[in-house]
């Protein structure tokens, strides 16, 4: 049957099972929004306060649900406002489809009103992008975009659609979505055999798990693998929830703000098994001194990651869930030994802790949130000190419950991501933990939260500064606090109330207890403005350029 481009787009979104879109309308996407209006009972559109919020919301929706997140914006500034969100999704391998409008085909390349080459702009930060200049190509392009976003290592895909293409007509025929194959083509028998041989000969194995475990839904396989090896295991920031944080073999996070036990285990192991991880500089620090005594086995779906940052001795390329299944079938159980005892002793000797007194401290706030939610919440964060405290003090035991910008480190990410996560998982409590600096960047999304009565709890850890930058200025720049003190408004409680949310100002432990109890019972938009000291620090910390075992564990 003959449909317009806008109608074809909507039908293809329905083919792909899309039930929610985050976006902001404009001239170049008016035809699309007209069709969305007609299909509002099939596809829910969430109007965000800003296009960046739409991109982050689509990202949070994807991370929480495992589905493809979808966002839409008009041409020009609307499209460029998506860029930070697209880059955030790209760095953390999040499946997302961004749809942008553009000027009519006849006006492309003529510096027309609200025209940008969004495909050129986003080429380095998408798995693939398309500009559709002929309506006959639109349906197949949309289907390809969703397939590419999901297959292999996931990531964002952009579709740019000129306005006249959304009005033109073409034949449309329904198609079932193409199934995503399990990526096993490069899993070679000789690679499996060699890995098993290396593992069996190892006396001090250590497992480093990354976000790829979560993307591959391989948490159960990882648990079985680690227990077979009786190996200590650590997770990267993006890997939080890939392995239960309350398990006896879990040593805590690895890297710049990782535990002494994890960083020492990586340094002294004779075998480091990296699974679904990319050896980020925040994990590795000094490359020359990272895992100097170990053979390195790297298991990953993306061959481009092998030997990119760290030279590996052996690799297996393929879907990590399938690789772990094969290894688990063939590996023999190993018993705990002196290596396990040493790591346990390090965990006991160097716990991640903070001063226990009557002061309201950020670490206490995180622990109290964990206690009140019994660990059964989806937690989103912004970027900075509060992000690290959350990873350190909230015990994530399930995948897709820690949602944060890891690779790009996007301040302003979390509020939009929390919206997407809560709408994608309506039966779960979502708590957004923010720093006051990050929250200022996209606090306009309070309008979205209250307009849709989204039952988010936002906890602002308010230290009146750009905390992580100030920490570096304290430790490495002689206390010269250049442009980091935020001695300015707004009053976050009044701001929340102005938008229609409930707000609490919190300065004591007792006030925190009462406010959390009330917030969790309300099931509506709530903001907790928690005032803490300006000089709380994230510890442990590896100084820049040092080896990860040279970790500062306490403040002097």
Residues of the chain with CATH 3.40.50.970: 2-171, 362-531
Cβ(92)–Cβ(211) under 8 Å?
Answer: yes
The CB density around residue 372, as the number of other CB atoms within 10 Å, is 18
Scanning 384-466, the segments in alpha helix (DSSP H) are 385-393, 414-424, 436-442, 446-451
Q: Which residue has the tokens 């023999």?
A: 332
Catalytic residue list contains 385: no
Report the distance separating Cα 34 and Cα 500, nearest Å: 29
Question: CA-CA distance, 178 to 56, in Å (whole number)?
Answer: 26
Of the residues 163, 204, 260, 368, only one is catalytic, namely 163
Tokens of 281: 């500089």
Among the listed residues 38, 42, 113, 185, the single catalytic one is 113
Of 409, 507, 506, the C-alpha closest to 458 is: 506
pLDDT of residue 275: 98
Q: Where are the beta strands (DSSP E) in 33-181?
A: 44-47, 69-73, 96-102, 128-131, 156-162, 169-171
Cα distances from 49 to residues 18, 55, 194, 223, 452, in angstroms, run: 21, 11, 53, 41, 12
Q: Are 146 and 104 in contact (CB under 8 A)?
A: no
Fold adopted by 362-531 = Rossmann fold (3.40.50)
Closest CA to 55 of 105, 3, 126, 141: 126
Are 279 and 308 in contact by the 8 Å Cβ rule? The answer is yes
Q: Is 189 a catalytic residue?
A: no
CA-to-CA distance for 365 and 227, rounded, in angstroms? 32
CB atoms within 10 A of CB 81: 18
| Residue with token string 């930060």 | 125
pLDDT in tens, 298-348: 999 999 999 999 999 999 999 999 999 999 999 999 999 999 999 999 999
> Per-residue DSSP letters for 472-504?
HHHHHSTT---S-B------HHHHHHHHT-EEE
163/175 Cα distance (integer angstroms)? 24
Whether the CB-CB separation of 92 and 151 falls below 8 Å is answered with no
DSSP state of 316: E
Secondary structure (3-state) at 52: helix
Strands 169-171 and 2-4: antiparallel
Name residue, tokens 């059964």.
376
The catalytic residue among 11, 22, 35, 51 is 51
Residues in Cβ contact with 487 at an 8 Å cutoff, skipping those fewer than 6 apart = 464
Measure the CA–CA gap between 505 and 503, rounded to whole angstroms: 7
163 tagged catalytic: yes
What tokens appear for 211 in the block? 């976000």
Residue 183 is predicted with a pLDDT of 85
List the beta bridge partners of residue 233: 207, 250
- Alpha-carbon gap, residue 158 to 127, rounded angstroms: 9
- Active site residue: 14, 114, 342, 428, which one? 114
Q: How many helices (H) and strands (E) does the chain have?
A: 23, 20
Residue range 179-221, pLDDT digits in tens: 999 988 899 999 999 999 999 999 999 999 999 999 999 999 9
Q: For residue 148, which of 237, 68, 52 has the smallest C-alpha distance?
A: 68
Would residue 201 show up in a list of annotated catalytic residues for this protein?
Answer: no
Tokens coding 62: 């994807």
Pick 2-171's CATH classification: 3.40.50.1000, 3.40.50.970, 3.40.120.10, 3.30.390.10: 3.40.50.970
pLDDT given at position 556 = 52
pLDDT tens readout for residues 212-223: 999 999 999 999
Bridge partners (DSSP) of residue 69 are 96
Please state which CATH class domain 189-349 belongs to.
alpha beta
CB atoms within 10 A of CB 345: 11
Q: Which residues of the chain have pLDDT under 50?
A: none
* C-alpha dihedral, 153 to 156 to 160 to 161, nearest 10°: 90
163, exposed or middle or buried, with CB in 10 Å at 0-12, 13-18, 19+?
Answer: buried
Q: Is 290 known to be catalytic? A: no
Burial of 376 (0-12, 13-18, 19+ CB in 10 A): exposed
Helix (H, G, I), strand (E, B) or coil at 278: coil
Q: Are strands 156-162 and 44-47 parallel, antiparallel or unpaired?
A: unpaired
- d(CA 83, CA 116) in angstroms, rounded, equals 12
Instruction: Report which DSSP code applies to 107.
Output: G
Length of the chain: 556
Looking at the chain, which residues constitute the CATH 3.40.50.1220 domain(s)?
189-349
């Amino acid at each position: 049957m003959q449909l317009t481009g806008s109608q074809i787009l909507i039908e293809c979104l329905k083919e792909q099972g899309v039930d929610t879109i985050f976006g902001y309308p404009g001239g170049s996407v008016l035809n699309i929004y007209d069709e969305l209006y007609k299909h509002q009972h099939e596809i829910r559109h969430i109007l965000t306060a800003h296009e960046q919020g739409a991109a982050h919301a689509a990202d949070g929706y994807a991370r929480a649900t495992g589905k493809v997140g979808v966002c839409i914006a008009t041409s020009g500034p609307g499209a460029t406002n998506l860029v930070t969100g697209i880059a955030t999704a790209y760095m953390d391998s999040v499946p997302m489809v961004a749809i942008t409008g553009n000027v009519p085909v006849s006006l492309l390349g003529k510096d027309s009103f609200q025209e940008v080459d969004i495909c050129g702009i986003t080429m380095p930060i998408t798995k693939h992008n398309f500009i559709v200049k002929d309506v006959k190509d639109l349906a197949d392009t949309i289907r390809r975009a969703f397939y590419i976003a999901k297959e292999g290592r996931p990531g964002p895909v952009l579709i740019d659609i000129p306005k006249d293409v959304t009005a033109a007509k073409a034949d449309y025929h329904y198609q079932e979505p193409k199934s995503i194959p399990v990526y096993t083509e490069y899993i070679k028998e000789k690679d499996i055999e060699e890995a098993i041989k290396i593992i069996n000969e190892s006396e001090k194995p250590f497992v480093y798990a990354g976000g790829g475990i979560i993307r591959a839904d391989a948490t159960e396989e990882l648990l079985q693998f680690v227990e077979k090896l009786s190996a200590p295991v650590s997770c990267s920031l993006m890997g939080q929830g890939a392995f239960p944080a309350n398990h006896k073999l879990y040593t805590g996070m690895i890297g710049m703000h990782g535990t002494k036990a994890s960083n020492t285990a990586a340094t002294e192991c004779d075998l480091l098994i990296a699974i679904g991880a990319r050896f980020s500089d925040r994990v590795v620090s000094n490359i020359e001194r990272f895992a100097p005594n170990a053979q390195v086995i790297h298991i990953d779906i993306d061959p481009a990651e092998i030997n990119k940052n760290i030279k590996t001795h052996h690799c297996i390329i393929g879907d990590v869930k399938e690789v772990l299944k094969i290894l688990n079938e063939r590996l023999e159980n190993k018993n705990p030994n002196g290596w396990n005892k040493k790591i346990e002793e390090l965990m006991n000797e160097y716990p991640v802790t903070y001063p226990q007194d009557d002061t309201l401290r950020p670490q206490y706030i995180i622990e109290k949130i964990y206690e009140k939610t019994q660990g059964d919440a989806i937690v989103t964060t912004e970027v900075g000190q509060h992000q690290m405290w959350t990873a350190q003090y909230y015990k994530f035991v399930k995948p897709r419950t820690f949602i944060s910008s890891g690779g790009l480190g996007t301040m302003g990410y979390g509020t939009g991501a929390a919206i997407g996560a809560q709408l994608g998982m309506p039966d779960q409590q979502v708590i957004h933990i923010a720093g006051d600096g990050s929250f200022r960047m996209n606090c306009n999304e309070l309008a979205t939260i209250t307009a849709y009565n989204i039952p988010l709890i936002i906890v602002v850890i308010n230290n009146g500064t750009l905390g992580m930058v100030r920490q570096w200025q304290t430790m490495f720049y002689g206390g010269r606090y250049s442009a980091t003190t935020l001695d300015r408004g707004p009053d976050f409680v009044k701001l929340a109330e102005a938008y229609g949310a409930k707000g609490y100002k919190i300065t004591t432990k007792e006030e925190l207890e009462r406010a959390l109890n009330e917030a969790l019972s309300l099931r509506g938009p709530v903001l907790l403005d928690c005032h803490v000291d300006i000089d709380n620090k994230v510890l442990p910390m590896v100084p820049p350029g040092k080896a990860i075992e040279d970790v500062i564990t306490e403040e002097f």
